[in-house]
Structure 1
Amino acid sequence: MEHISVLLDEATDLLNIKQGGVYVDATLGRAGHSQKILNSLTNGKLFCFDLDTEAIKKSEILLNKISKNYLIFNENYKNLKACLAMQNVFKVDGVLYDLGVSSPQLDDQNRGFSYRFNSRIDMRMNQTQKLDGHYVVNNLSEQELTNIFFKYGEEKYAKSIAKNIVKKRLEKPIDTTFELVEIIKSSIPKREMIKKHPAKKVFQAIRIYVNDELSSLETSLEDALQILNVGGRVVVITFHSLEENIVKKIFKKYTIFKEDEIINKLPITIENNKQFKLVMKKPFTPNLTEQETNKRSRTAKLWAIERIKE
């Protein structure tokens, strides 16, 4: 399945791209957003990050058709600040994050991301790293698995699923995604299978843990805000509540201060020292047309923050 970038126009428009600006696509994927950013640059520069070497190869072909004003790092975006510094780039005009897993990763049955295909449990975005889903399922303790499923999947039957995984792997290793799906199905009430696929939360949890997604996001967002020029923006597309909570926490940290409530009640105008402002108070969501044509956009939310002073 071809990857369709969610909120493509809305996200790139929010960057307020300047032709000579410096921009970062922290989640290159198949270059949907990067192509649009690069098309808007004349003498500007685009820096991209992705852990997936296959995605990078495909994206280079697409970006080369536009211009050479880009550089791709095969790195985790948590290293964004350090990688840019090595290129003598210490300030940027915009950073874009399109979080989560891409359609090609989900639809490639050899990658072991999806419960729809029977393959070895993998789930690595960086195919060279040692830790994968197979190791997690077959080696972590019942308590560790319970914590992962609850923390990263918000799975209310985490304990039951973890218990049955540990019990089943005593007989033989749990090698494939379908084997894992069957264990999950046997661990939850049948009524829960009507609402959504019973393995969705557990697969999400394992993927997030294997790729250290939430910790990496928090580190990267903090660094991105620090290197923004005045007028520059960080734009983020989230797909589930765990990502949303990190974005809300960090954006709130930089835009809302306890003193505001007191200052707003005073009969005089006092200038505050905020360095950032929210571009919109509530996140933007895809319209019905996009949700119908691209099912993976249904949970998407678009957030943006702008630096207003040094």
Structure 2
Amino acid sequence: MTHLPVLYNEIIHAMQPHREGLYIDCTLGAGGHAWGILQASSPDGQLLGLDVDPQAIDLAKLKLAEFGNRAYLVRASYRTLLQQMVQLGWRHVDGILLDLGLSSMQLDTRVRGFSFQTEAPLDMRFDPQGKVSAADLVNNLEEKELADLLFHYGEERRSRQVARAIMRARPIQTTTQLVQVVSGVTSGGKSGIHPATRTFQALRIAVNSELEALEEVLPQTLEALAPGGRLAIISFHSLEDRMAKQFIHKESMDCICPPRQPICTCGHTATLRELSKRVVRPQDEEIRKNPRSRSARLRIAERI
């Protein structure tokens, strides 16, 4: 399947690339957004692309080859954002993109174990050299730990029942085995989603420490962005979107004291200006062409 970057036009508009700008794509993927930013910032704009997935780096190198030394592609986590900037001698940048979660490329690569629609080893690691796979969690966690993981990361209401069923069925080594176990416990609810959706989401988030990584990188973006620089965050589920929303909202306020406190004592000053008061969603035409984009949510802010 051809990789379709989600909210492509909206991202280019949000970033406002210019010819001498410096940009960071924290989640490079196959390089679709990065290509657009480099094209729009021609002839001199530069971009640093980060990804822990070697397959993504290889694909992006091909995609971005035409830009030569304007594109720096590094296999690294966006947790190391500031460290990577130091390596390049960049003090500040003009735009940072975080396109969170799972890429179509990863979902469509059967052996990676991200999809509940095909049989594969229960892996789910963005970085193939990562220490913990989904199978490790499924087969080694205590029942309560597993239930808590499914509830907090997957928002699975029947987390205890699912965890209990997994314990009884262990060992579980493949995606189809896990789907069968979960489908015997939950129907997916009124939303009509696949019964295994929340379980797979929870395991993937835990395997890749996705929420912890996001929590680490968000404060770094404030130090990295130049005044007027743009921060764009695309998320695909409520957990990430809530973190992005709360971060941008907090950093756009001059005071974060409790509402009933009569005198400000926090000393906080606004560092961001919220540019998208309402979350930006894909247009109907994009959803028609790329159904996977339907749950995408974009939030945009500008460094003060």
TM-score bracket relative to the smaller structure: over 0.9
Residue deviations 1:26-46 (CA, integer Å, cap 9, x gap) = 110010000011112322220
Cα distance change on mapping 1:179 and 1:288 into 2, 3 Å: same
Matched letter for residue 116 of structure 1: Q
Q: Equivalent residues in 2 for 1:133-172 (5 A)?
A: 133-169=134-170
Residue matched to 2:287: 291
- Alignment RMSD: 1.9
1:302 aligns with 2:303: no
Amino acid across the alignment from 2:28: L
Residue 49 of structure 2 corresponds to residue 48 of structure 1: yes
Q: Which amino acid aligns with 2:164?
A: K
User: 1:281 — aligned with what?
Assistant: 277
**Aligned: 1:125 with 2:126:** yes
For 2:184, which of 179, 183, 186 is the aligned residue? Answer: 186
Question: What is the percent sequence identity of the aligned residues?
Answer: 36
Normalising by structure 2, report the TM-score: 0.93
Alpha-carbon distance in 1 for matches of 2:256, 2:10: 33
Partner of 1:241: 238
Following the alignment from structure 1 to structure 2, what is the Cα–Cα distance between the partners of residues 132 and 302?
Answer: 29
- What per-residue deviation string (whole Å, max 9, x for no partner) do you get for residues 142-179 of structure 1? 1111011000000001000101111111xxx2111000
CA distance in 1, matches of 2:107, 2:49: 21
Q: Which residue of 1 aligns with 2:36?
A: 36
Does the 8 Å contact 1:31/1:59 carry over to 2? yes
Q: Secondary structure at the match of 2:64?
A: helix
SS in 2 for 1:4: coil
Aligned partners of 2:99 and 2:188: how far apart in 1?
Answer: 33
Structure 1 CA distance, aligned partners of 2:119 and 2:134? 14
| Aligned residue in 2 for 1:265 | none
8 A Cα contact 1:120 1:177, kept in partner: yes
Contact 1:152/1:205 (8 A) holds in 2: yes
Query: Runs of 5+ in structure 1 lacking a partner?
Result: 263-271
Deviations 1:215-246 (A, max 9, x none): 10121121012211011010111111001111
Distance 2:66 2:46 in 1: 15
> Pairwise mapping of residues 2-41 of structure 1 onto structure 2 (< 5 A)?
2-41=2-41
2:172 to 162, 171, 174: 174
Aligned residues: 295
Residues in 1 aligned to 2:196 and 2:120: alpha-carbon distance in whole angstroms? 15
Do residues 253 (structure 1) and 255 (structure 2) align?
A: no
- Deviations 1:50-89 (CA, angstroms, capped at 9, x unpaired): 0110111111011012332011111111111111112221
Q: How big is each residue's C-alpha offset from its partner over 1:80-105, in whole Å with a ceiling of 9 and x where there is no partner? A: 11111122212111101111111111
Distance 1:6 1:204 in 2: 19
Instruction: Give structure 2 stretches of 5+ with no counterpart.
Output: 260-267
Distance 1:259 1:152 in 2: 27
- Equivalent pair of 1:38/1:67 in contact (CA under 8 Å): no
Whole-angstrom CA distance in 2 between matches of 1:44 and 1:118: 43
User: Partners of 1:194 and 1:227 in 2: how far apart?
Assistant: 39
Structure 1 window deviating more from structure 2 (39-48 vs 25-34): it is 39-48
**For the residues of structure 1 that align with 2:188 and 2:118, how far apart are their CA atoms?**
23
Q: CA deviation at 1:186?
A: 1.3
Q: Secondary structure at the match of 1:67?
A: helix
Give the match for residue 265 of structure 2.
Answer: none
Distance 2:210 2:55 in 1: 19
1:48–1:72 CA contact under 8 A, matched in 2: yes
Provide TM-score, normalisation by structure 1: 0.91
The alignment partner of 1:126 has SS state of coil
- TM-superposed CA distance for 1:300, in Å, is 0.9
Q: Is the 8 A contact 1:26 1:48 kept in 2?
A: yes
Counterpart in 1 of 2:117? 116
Shift of 1:280: 2.0
> 2:129 is paired with a residue of what secondary structure?
coil
Q: Is the Cα–Cα contact under 8 Å of residues 290 and 297 in structure 1 kept in the other structure?
A: yes
Residues 64 and 163 (structure 1), Cα distance of their counterparts in 2 relative to 1, 3 Å cut:
same
The equivalent of 1:195 in structure 2 is 192
Contact 1:225-1:234 at 8 Å conserved across structures: no
